[in-house]
Amino acid sequence: MSARIGIVGIGHCRFGNSSEYDLVDVIAYSANDAFRDAGGLHLRKEVDQVLVGNMAAGMFNHQTSVASALISRMDMEPCPAELVENGPASGASAIRLGYMAIASGMADVVLVAAGEVMRVVSGWEATNIVATMAHTEAEYNMGLTLPGFAGMFTRLYMEKYGMTERDLALVAVKDHDNGAKNIYSHVQLPVTIEAIADGENANVVNNYVAEPLRMYSTCPISDGSAAVILVNMDSPKAKLFPKKPIRIAGIASATDTHCVHNRKDPLVLDAVRISAEKAYKMAGVGPKDISLAELHDAFVIFELLNSEEVGFFERGKSFLGVRNRETEIGGRIPINTSGGLKAKGHPVGATGVSQVVELVRQLRGEAEEGRQVKDPKYGMAVNFGGFGNNVVTTILAKD
Amino acid sequence: MIDFSVYGEQTPHISGYKCLKCGTIFYPAPMVCKGCDAHRDPVTGKHWEQFDLEGPCKLLTWTRVWNLPEGFNRKFLMFGMVEFPNGLRASGRIECVGDPVIGATMEASVIEADERPGAPVKVFQFS
């Protein structure tokens, strides 16, 4: 791939409860933020393609054609616009398709805006809507939900590798510590290991959701949006954007079986490993070159598993790295410096773009005090669709 | 004369699928055989055999879910993943007292469940 494609504008709203706002306004907020970051709202007229990441507006908000609505809300007609739906990986898939649009020569500037407003329904209904990504006959109909799968997955990992519930809590403590410093986080409160694991009231504070996963092992249900502006760095239009681009060095995706039980080893996430291998190859780097990573942690077990599949740790050893504080800011490989889905929140369609916004902030050196990784060169994001059956890995580079 | 066979048809079943060309078995139903690329026509079922998935199975992992989705008026439900002697695996509900043990032999049966809106659905129950 010879195209040099970079990110010249980023936008993000604070994740949390935006249920009183219209979904399209929520997405447009981050899109406007991205144009202001890129140099001004007038630059929206330079966009050749708009891609909107969203998972389930039809079910959550009873709304369709979100991309068309966004175009009119932002006065961007007649710019082409499409919706990208790939479950919780919708955001990163939209970025990947934006990259492909530029690489193909059909566009020089692409706006990728993604968002979800989930809290308009009850938590029980949101869980049910998200569960529709599972196999209808063999999983969803059984009553299974994503927390249910993650609970089974976590038990298997604990049985096989000796991880404890306290190890899960240590990941949550680290993520909440990072999230507390992130202005965009849904949950901006640090937690202590005493409160959620060691103290006598820990079982009450941190109750079971899907055993052995507890509340602090799962992400909140969040609303929110994020946006990035992609530019062909070698086109004349690139000169219109004053900020130095953060280059997309590698971006790749892979799939796995729809039914979790049909994988040879349910603990092996082939789609994560393959998409990461492809992204490393495209970028010409390896795991040791990565300065920080945003790994999809809708459940903290995913952060651990993803960190093994992308090569940061040997299989079954990632929780030992957390014990040794290797994944904290200042550690060997900082993971989820934003707070991750666990603390920053998980508006499903927005998450993939939000992860990339965090990498850009870090690579520019614009993260908040106490959260900035020292002199990062490469950042990686893994956005997990379904229960690991459709995964996008992105590697950004500061040239 | 009363035809008792009709009552048998009302018992809920969940099927596994066998490609008669190469013998590969599946659950749930595929549209293409990964063993020999044979097409499965879901209307005629020609060159494929259906068989009931039930009976003894080994528990691979399990969970007890406390935040059930809309429609489930229960405090919690247990779910598990099992492997049948023929190598096929399935996910479903667990009905047992106390905590099940990974590796234990369980018995798979099929029930109809109607917690969610719409027609009742077939559900594996491991006990």
Cβ distance A209 to B67 less than 8 Å, yes or no, reads yes
Decide if A300 is inside a domain: no
Confidence of residue A22 (pLDDT cuts 50, 70, 90): very high
| pLDDT of amino acid B5 | 66
d(CA A66, CA A52): 8
Q: Nearest-CA neighbor of B23 among B36, B14, B32?
A: B36
Give how far A126 is from chain B: nearest CA, Å: 8
DSSP for A319-361 reads: HHHHHTTTTSTTSSS-B-TT-HHHHH-B-TTTHHHHHHHHHHH
Q: For position A89, which CATH number holds?
A: 3.40.47.10
Q: Which of A57-61, A297-301, B94-98, B123-127 has the lowest mean pLDDT?
A: B94-98
Contacts of A125 in chain B (CB under 8 A): 69-70
For residue B62, give the nearest of A127, A155, A213 by CB distance. Answer: A155
Cβ distance B91 to A125 less than 8 Å, yes or no, reads no
| pLDDT of amino acid A77 | 98
Which domain, by its residues, includes A76?
5-121+221-240
Listed by start position, the domains of chain B span 14-52, 55-126
Kindly report, residue by residue over B26-41, the tens digit of the pLDDT: 999 999 999 999 999 9
DSSP for A217-267 reads: GBPPB-BEEEEEEEEETTSGGGGG--SPPEEEEEEEEEE--SSGGGSSSTT
For residue A148, give the nearest of B60, B65, B116 by CB distance. Answer: B65
Confidence of residue B4 (pLDDT cuts 50, 70, 90): low
Cβ distance A210 to B64 less than 8 Å, yes or no, reads yes
Decide if A76 is inside a domain: yes
Q: Does B44 touch chain A (CB under 8 A)?
A: no
Decide if A370 is inside a domain: no
List all residues 6 or more positions away from A33 whose beta carbon is below 8 Å from its beta carbon. Answer: A10, A11, A12, A13, A227
Total domains, chain A:
1
For residue B63, give the nearest of A135, A151, A260 by CB distance. Answer: A151
Residue B77 near residue B124 (C-beta atoms within 8 A): no
List all residues 6 or more positions away from A75 whose beta carbon is below 8 Å from its beta carbon. Answer: A44
The CATH fold assigned to B55-126 is OB fold (Dihydrolipoamide Acetyltransferase, E2P) (2.40.50)
Q: Does A207 touch chain B (CB under 8 A)?
A: yes
Burial degree of A128 (CB within 10 A; 0-12, 13-18, 19+): buried
Decide if A102 is inside a domain: yes
* Three-class HEC string of A146-175: HHHHHHHHHHHHHHHHCCCHHHHHHHHHHH
- pLDDT of B7 strictly over 70: no
Decide if A305 is inside a domain: no
Decide if A278 is inside a domain: no
Give the mean pLDDT of A320-344. 98
| pLDDT of amino acid B17 | 97
The secondary structure element, H or E, covering residue A362 is: helix A351-364
Q: How many CA atoms lie within 13 A of B44 on its CB side?
A: 5
Decide if A11 is inside a domain: yes
